[in-house]
């Protein structure tokens, strides 16, 4: 059975219904596209209790929310566009080709008008839904402030969340303080700390994925060229098809390209994205740069939970990027593999660093401070990452900590002394990032 998917005004393609059953989407595509995955609940950790004891109450929360699903980045869109042009120029050849059902859509032509960088309709829905759910989860905590990184997709995400959380008039009332923080090299920000690290370079991650491409893309390209002889697909085009899978999903919720690839090929693409994020924003950065960059947020976290300044709020609503969350995890020593991720493989299916679970579109990192009358002594800390308790293994001290994935505030502060000993522009920062110039 086939149906027509309209990708943009006047443009359509055919998609097999059987290729997009809920089981297929859940197990093979939606949750296996790294940081380009649509939002989904993270897989639960076996044996970890997900609900706090009944005598415990959450008294302070910090939310760091990634923006919702977006169009491709301006640097990614040409991969998809060039593939589209090449297929269009080879339409006569494609009509004569004997294609399997999962590629028959190419005979009708694949044309799309993806934009770049900004939020998509599914991305707006993700953030609105998060705003509703967050209010229902913490109705007893209140704030009048939203802080967003000053990038269009982040700001719009914060606005959709705010619309759901505060109601339809929140834009028009002075009671709500909607603020932005610049994302540039002139502003010290815990949302984009790499911008003020002179020696940080995005190519740390790109260099790893270039090597990945020379290993993993050619076999896929060879397979596709056997099915599409005389079209002349290159590894660049194969990458474009993988991006088309991810970004059609981000924009329209469905893509004919996802069914073109085998589960193993999708897993390989996921691994590329893991390498990129780890290399540019995680443990793959040189020396202590990864933990150093995330330390700016950890300092905020510790300062607020200990009320170091005497004016801590019970609730913080902040909006940033996947990179923000990845750098925080790195500073905390979480999601860390004992052996660094190899570029050429073999791919470890049980690796700790997995961006599909950590930072899908609309990822949410929720930090709770809670107290109990009997179950725990003193204030405790818990991390919920994408609706699932993420164990704070670095500061866990007791069996109860291990059962609930929590740790005491005191232990959390103590184990993060690397972060709390650093200030932007001090000797440690400058030794890793170069002299501060602001």
Q: What is the mean pLDDT of residues 147-174?
A: 93
Number of other residues whose CB lies within 10 A of the CB of residue 344? 10
The SS3 call for residue 385 is: strand
286 has a pLDDT exceeding 50: yes
Q: From CA 15, how far away is CA 1, in angstroms rounded?
A: 9
Q: What is the mean pLDDT of residues 176-187?
A: 96
Q: From CA 280, how far away is CA 289, in angstroms rounded?
A: 10
20 has a pLDDT exceeding 70: no
Q: From CA 358, how far away is CA 44, in angstroms rounded?
A: 12
Residues in the chain: 438
* 318-333 residue pLDDT tens: 999 999 999 999 999 9
Q: From CA 365, how far away is CA 392, in angstroms rounded?
A: 13
403 has a pLDDT exceeding 60: yes
335 within domain boundaries = yes
| % of the chain beyond a pLDDT of 70 | 94
The SS3 call for residue 60 is: strand
373 within domain boundaries = yes
27 within domain boundaries = no
DSSP element (H, E) containing 225: helix 203-227
265 within domain boundaries = yes
How far are the Cα atoms of 30, 62, 306 from residue 67, in angstroms, in the given order? 17, 16, 28
The token duo for 353 is: 């660093």
Structurally, the chain folds into a number of domains equal to 1
Whether the CB-CB separation of 146 and 179 falls below 8 Å is answered with yes
332 within domain boundaries = yes
Per-residue model confidence (pLDDT) at position 436: 80
59-90 burial by CB neighbour count: b if 16+ within 10 A, else e?
Answer: ebbbbbbbbbbbbbeeebbebbbebbebbeeb
Per-residue model confidence (pLDDT) at position 22: 31
Binned at pLDDT 50, 70 and 90, residue 9 comes out as very low
23 within domain boundaries = no
DSSP element (H, E) containing 382: strand 380-385
The CATH code of the domain that includes 266 is: 3.40.50.1240
The token duo for 255 is: 């893509």
Q: Which domain holds residue 88?
A: 32-420
430 within domain boundaries = no
Q: What is the mean pLDDT of residues 162-178?
A: 88
Binned at pLDDT 50, 70 and 90, residue 27 comes out as low
- Residue in the block written with tokens 């981000």: 250
Beta bridge partners of 408: 380
Strands (DSSP E) contained in 288-363 are 315-320
Q: Which residue has the higher pLDDT, 70 or 168?
A: 70
Q: What is the mean pLDDT of residues 365-376?
A: 97
Per-residue model confidence (pLDDT) at position 347: 85
Q: From CA 104, how far away is CA 13, in angstroms rounded?
A: 10
Average pLDDT across the chain, whole number: 92
Q: From CA 263, how far away is CA 241, in angstroms rounded?
A: 15
- Indicate yes or no: pTM above 0.85: yes
* 183-213 residue pLDDT tens: 999 999 999 999 999 999 999 999 999 999 9
Q: What is the mean pLDDT of residues 103-110?
A: 95
Q: From CA 244, how far away is CA 209, in angstroms rounded?
A: 18
Binned at pLDDT 50, 70 and 90, residue 28 comes out as low
17 within domain boundaries = no
45 has a pLDDT exceeding 70: yes
* 338-348 residue pLDDT tens: 999 999 887 88
């Amino acid at each position: 059975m086939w149906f027509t998917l309209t990708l943009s005004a006047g443009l359509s393609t055919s998609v097999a219904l059987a290729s997009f059953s809920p089981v297929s989407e859940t197990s093979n595509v939606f949750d296996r596209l790294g940081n380009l995955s649509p939002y989904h609940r993270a897989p639960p950790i076996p044996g970890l209790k997900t609900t706090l004891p009944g005598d415990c109450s959450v008294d302070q929360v910090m939310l760091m929310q990634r923006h919702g699903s977006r169009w491709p980045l301006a640097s990614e869109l040409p991969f998809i566009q060039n593939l589209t042009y090449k297929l269009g120029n080879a339409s006569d050849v494609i009509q004569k080709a004997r294609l399997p059902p999962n590629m028959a859509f190419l005979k009708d032509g694949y044309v799309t008008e993806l934009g770049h960088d900004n939020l998509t309709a599914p991305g707006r829905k993700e953030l609105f839904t998060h705003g509703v759910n967050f209010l229902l989860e913490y109705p007893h905590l209140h704030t009048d402030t939203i802080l967003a990184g000053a990038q269009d997709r982040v700001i719009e995400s914060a606005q959709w969340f705010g619309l759901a959380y505060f109601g339809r008039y929140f834009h028009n009332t002075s009671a709500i303080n909607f603020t932005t923080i610049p994302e540039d090299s002139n502003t010290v920000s815990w949302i984009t700390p790499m911008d003020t690290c002179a020696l940080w370079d995005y190519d740390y991650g790109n260099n790893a994925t270039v090597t990945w491409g020379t290993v993993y893309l050619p076999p896929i390209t060879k397979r596709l060229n056997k099915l599409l002889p005389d079209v002349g697909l290159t590894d660049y085009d194969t990458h474009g098809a993988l991006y088309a899978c991810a970004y059609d999903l981000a924009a329209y919720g469905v893509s004919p390209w996802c069914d073109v690839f085998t589960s193993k090929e999708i897993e390989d693409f996921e691994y590329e994205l893991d390498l990129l994020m780890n290399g540019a924003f995680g443990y793959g950065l040189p020396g202590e740069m990864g933990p150093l960059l995330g330390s700016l947020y950890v300092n905020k976290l510790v300062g607020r939970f200990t009320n170091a300044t005497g004016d801590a709020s019970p609730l913080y609503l902040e909006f940033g990027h996947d990179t923000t969350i990845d750098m925080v995890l790195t500073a905390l020593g979480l999601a860390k593999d004992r052996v660094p991720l190899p570029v050429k493989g073999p791919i470890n299916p049980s690796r700790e660093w997995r961006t599909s679970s950590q930072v899908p579109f609309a990822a949410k990192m929720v930090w709770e401070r809670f107290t109990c009358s009997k179950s725990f002594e003193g204030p405790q800390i818990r991390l919920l990452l994408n609706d699932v308790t993420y164990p704070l293994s670095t500061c866990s001290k007791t069996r109860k900590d291990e059962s609930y994935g929590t740790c005491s505030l005191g232990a959390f502060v103590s184990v993060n002394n690397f972060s709390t000993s650093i200030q932007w522009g001090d000797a440690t920062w400058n030794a890793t990032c170069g002299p501060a110039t602001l």
